[in-house]
Chains A and B, each alone.
Chain A
C-alpha cells in the first residue's frame, strides 16, 4: 500500500511568481485535502476535493486554486506569490470525505518565497 507522495519537497520562488505543488493520494483514496502550515503553527485548511470536485474551502483567497484528476492525484496552484505564502504545504488523502479512519498525510512541500 503506497502512502501519500508530494513533490517537490522544497521549492524557492520569487514574489509575484506562480507555483504548482503536486500530490499523489494513497491507493484507493478518492478525497484529497490541502493544508498550509506556517512555521511553528498548526496546519490551516485550504480546500478539499472529492471525485474531482471542490467540496470545501477555507479562508484563502482565489489565487489559491486546485485540481483533482481522475486518478485522484491533485495539484495546488498559487498565483501572484506573496512573502506570507512561505510555509509547509501538506496534502492529505482519505477513503472519502470525513472518513472515520482519518487521513493519510504526505511529508509536505516546503515553499519559500523571496
Chain B
C-alpha cells in the first residue's frame, strides 16, 4: 500500500520569505502523480500544484514550486515570497497511475500547518 509522510506538523515563515514543506512517499509503482493541496479554515481543499512522476522537470505555479526526487521518493513544496493568504494546512497527496481498482484514489499525508507572520 502507498503511504505519504509529512514530518513537519507545523512550520512558520515571515511574510515575503521562502519556506519549504517536506513530503516523502512510499510506492512500488512507476506511474503515479503527486499533489500539494491547501486547506484554509474554510475547509475546502484547493489544488496548489501537481507533478507527474514520468516528468523529470519540477512543476512550478507562480510562487509555488516543487523539488521532486523520484529515487529518494521525496516531493517538497517551496513557497516563495510568502503572503498572509498562504497560511493554511498543506497536504501532500499521491495518486496511482492508470488502471486497477480505486484508480483515482488520493492518499494524503498528515498535513503541515503553515503560519505566516507579518
Query: Which chain A residues have a beta carbon within 8 Å of chain B's beta carbons?
Result: 31, 33, 35, 40-45, 48, 50, 55-58, 88, 90, 92, 94, 97-100, 102-103, 105-108, 110
Q: How far is the CB of B111 from chain A (nearest CB, A)?
A: 5
Contacting A at CB under 8 A, from B81-118, are 91, 95, 97-98, 101-111
A-B contact count (CB 8 A): 75
Q: Please, which residues of chain A bring their CB within 8 A of the CB of B97? A: 98
Distance (Å) between the CB of B96 and the closest chain A CB?
8
- Other-chain contact of B105, A56, A88, A107, A108 (Cβ < 8 Å): A56
Query: B42: which of A44, A48, A107 is its contact (CB, 8 Å)?
Result: A107
**CB-nearest residue of chain A to B46:** A105
Q: Is the CB of B108 within 8 A of A43?
A: yes
Q: Mark B31-60, 1 if CB is under 8 A from A, else 0.
A: 001010100001111110010100000000
Q: Which residue of B lies closest to A97 (CB)?
A: B104
Contact flag A105-B44 (CB < 8 Å), given A42-B108, A94-B104, A98-B95:
yes
Tell me if B106 and A33 are in contact (CB < 8 A). yes
Q: Contact size class for B?
A: 20 to 34
Closest to B92 in A: A42
Pick 18 A–B contacts, CB within 8 A, sort by A.
Answer: A33-B106, A40-B111, A42-B109, A42-B110, A42-B111, A44-B108, A45-B102, A48-B104, A48-B105, A56-B101, A57-B101, A100-B52, A102-B50, A103-B47, A103-B106, A107-B44, A108-B43, A110-B43
CB distance from B29 to the nearest CB of A (A): 13
Q: Which residues of B contact A99 (CB under 8 A)?
A: 104
Contacts of B102 in A (CB 8 A): 45, 48, 55-58
- Whether the Cβ atoms of B106 and A56 lie closer than 8 Å is no
Given contacts A42-B110, A100-B33, A102-B50, contact A55 B103 (CB under 8 A): yes
